[in-house]
Amino acid sequence: MNKQWRLAHTPSGGWPVDLDFRFGQEALPEPAPGQVLTRTLYLSMDPYQWGRRRNGTELPGQICHGRTVSQVVSSNRGPFEVGDYIFNTNGWQSYGLSGEGVSHFGYMHPRRLDPLGAPLSTAIGVLGMLGLTAYAGMMVQCQPRAGETVIVSAASGGVGQVAAQLAKLAGCRVVGIAGRPEKVDFCLGQLGLDACVSHLDEDFHEQLRKACPDGCDIYFENVGGKVFAAVLGLLNQNARITLCGLISQYGNTDGSNPHTVWQASGQQVFAVREVAVHPLFVGNFVDEYQERFLSEVGEYIKDNKIFYREDRWAGLEKAPQAFQAMLSGGNFGKTLVEVSEDTT
Ligand SMILES: NC(=O)c1ccc[n+]([C@@H]2O[C@H](COP(=O)([O-])OP(=O)(O)OC[C@H]3O[C@@H](n4cnc5c(N)ncnc54)[C@H](OP(=O)(O)O)[C@@H]3O)[C@@H](O)[C@H]2O)c1
């Protein structure tokens, strides 16, 4: 049987709750000519999924969307062989089809993975869209130079941990912002950042100011809200910002557009200090930068120069919980669900 989570209704706003999702099972689908049936191994939990659910892109009754690592279990003259491991977008279900006539999400083309290369889960993490997001924002848009001060918010998270380490490798002084104390310790110890402060502390603004005696040359924005307000006053003349995400505002209930609110709150400082703001959409970087990213970051990982932490949840049944945790800081590292056993 194919276990599945479907969207129960279009959420009216706020943050996800259990009742937004409906669990069910149905018979395995038969691959049509040109298709393969795949078993899901890993399912990625990403903030953008909440946007799709809230804005009606994902409709009630549909299988919840999600990027996956899967193994081909049967083929009807499909594009992959039985036994192949592939990156695809099965969504929140234990089996799915790939190949002719099966739509995938935008630029996320199914592709074969090498089980002898990096661990398979990295295809939805550090060596997937998440890593490319960090690479595009930090290396392509902001182009860090040795000696500059870089601030990364959500620094222990999936995108943040990679962005922060890339800036360290470029010779920058890197200051992380994270939540719980163990995340702050992780950023300092495991990631080797120069400083890290918690946005949960009452004197957060003051701590951040002290951690950046020379101001901020590059800000990698993942969060928005009060975290952005604290960084704003530290921006140097000609600072650069990658506007990667605004996760603290994805549960807004007032109908406002997080990007518009963010831009308006920073506008005056941006103008006076001639700050370059780079909005980021990872899909725009796939064609030109995917190969370069895979080669550079792949090497860093082989040489243990980039570390990555995953937050794994066992069993498809846990998907809604994992999703809710990821959106509220209950995760620790890149959030993924182990849907079936990875024997590689
Ligand atoms: N532009 C693109 O193409 C693109 C692509 C992928 C991801 N993104 C964005 O990148 C960001 C990170 O995504 P991810 O998948 O790597 O998730 P993640 O960082 O692994 O998890 C989200 C983290 O956000 C932090 N957070 C949540 N609510 C917060 C709040 N109210 N205040 C401060 N921090 C809060 C939490 O960290 P703490 O507990 O440390 O606060 C949480 O662990 C998101 O904004 C996402 O939308 C953008």
Distance 157 CA to ligand 1 centre (A): 6
Residue of 183, 198, 247 to mutate, ligand 1, most atoms within 8 A of C-beta? 247
Domain end among 266, 283, 300 = 283
Helix axes 225-232, 258-272, angle to 10 degrees: 0
- As a whole number of angstroms, the distance between CA 284 and CA 194 comes to 31
Q: Do 87 and 227 fall into the same domain?
A: no
Ligand 1 atom 30 nearest Cα = 248
309 close to ligand 1 (CB < 6 Angstrom): no
303 part of a folded domain: no
Q: Do 33 and 136 fall into the same domain?
A: no
pLDDT value for 253: 85
Q: What is the pLDDT tens value at each position of the chain, 344 positions in all? A: 999 999 999 998 799 999 999 999 999 999 999 999 999 999 999 999 999 999 999 999 999 999 999 999 999 999 999 999 999 999 999 999 999 999 877 778 899 999 999 999 999 999 999 999 999 999 999 999 999 999 999 999 999 999 999 999 999 999 999 999 999 999 999 999 999 999 999 999 999 999 999 999 999 999 999 999 999 999 999 999 999 999 999 998 888 899 999 999 999 999 999 999 999 999 999 999 999 999 999 999 999 999 999 999 999 999 999 999 999 999 999 999 999 999 99
The residue segments making up the domain with residue 262 are 129-283
pLDDT value for 16: 97
180 part of a folded domain: yes
C-alpha torsion sign, points 44, 49, 53, 59: negative
187 close to ligand 1 (CB < 6 Angstrom): no
304 part of a folded domain: no
Distance 29 CA to ligand 1 centre (A): 34
Q: Name the amino acid, one letter, at 245.
A: G
Nearest to 234 by CA among 261, 268, 211, 257: 211
Structural domain count of the chain? 2
The enclosing domain of 50 has a CATH number of 3.90.180.10
Q: Do 160 and 242 fall into the same domain?
A: yes
pLDDT value for 254: 86
Q: Do 270 and 136 fall into the same domain?
A: yes
158 close to ligand 1 (CB < 6 Angstrom): yes
179 part of a folded domain: yes
pLDDT value for 108: 82
Q: Do 161 and 77 fall into the same domain?
A: no
288 part of a folded domain: no
Q: Do 180 and 220 fall into the same domain?
A: yes
Q: Do 185 and 51 fall into the same domain?
A: no
227 close to ligand 1 (CB < 6 Angstrom): yes
Ligand 1 atom 18 nearest Cα = 157
6-16 CB burial, b ≥16 within 10 A, e <16? bbbeebeeeeb
pLDDT value for 252: 87
pLDDT digit string, tens, across residues 68-123 = 999 999 999 999 999 999 999 999 999 999 999 998 777 788 999 999 999 999 99
244 close to ligand 1 (CB < 6 Angstrom): yes
Domain end among 283, 301, 320 = 283
Nearest to 217 by CA among 266, 149, 170: 149
294 part of a folded domain: no
- As a whole number of angstroms, the distance between CA 262 and CA 244 comes to 12
196 part of a folded domain: yes
pLDDT value for 105: 76
pLDDT value for 27: 98
137 close to ligand 1 (CB < 6 Angstrom): no
pLDDT value for 298: 94
Ligand 1 atom 4 nearest Cα = 244
Q: Do 52 and 177 fall into the same domain?
A: no
- As a whole number of angstroms, the distance between CA 274 and CA 240 comes to 9
Distance 35 CA to ligand 1 centre (A): 35
pLDDT value for 77: 93
Using CA atoms, how far residue 24 sits from 70, 88, 89, 319, 328, in Å, is 20, 21, 19, 13, 26
166 part of a folded domain: yes
pLDDT digit string, tens, across residues 139-160 = 999 999 999 999 999 999 999 9
Q: Do 28 and 69 fall into the same domain?
A: yes
Q: Do 207 and 330 fall into the same domain?
A: no
The enclosing domain of 155 has a CATH number of 3.40.50.720
pLDDT value for 96: 97
91 close to ligand 1 (CB < 6 Angstrom): no
Ligand 1 atom 31 nearest Cα = 248
Q: Do 145 and 259 fall into the same domain?
A: yes
Q: Do 80 and 97 fall into the same domain?
A: yes
- Asked if 101 contacts 42 with a C-beta cutoff of 8 angstroms, the reply is no
Distance 156 CA to ligand 1 centre (A): 9
- As a whole number of angstroms, the distance between CA 64 and CA 94 comes to 12
pLDDT value for 13: 79
Distance 245 CA to ligand 1 centre (A): 7
Residue of 53, 159, 219, 290 to mutate, ligand 1, most atoms within 8 A of C-beta? 159
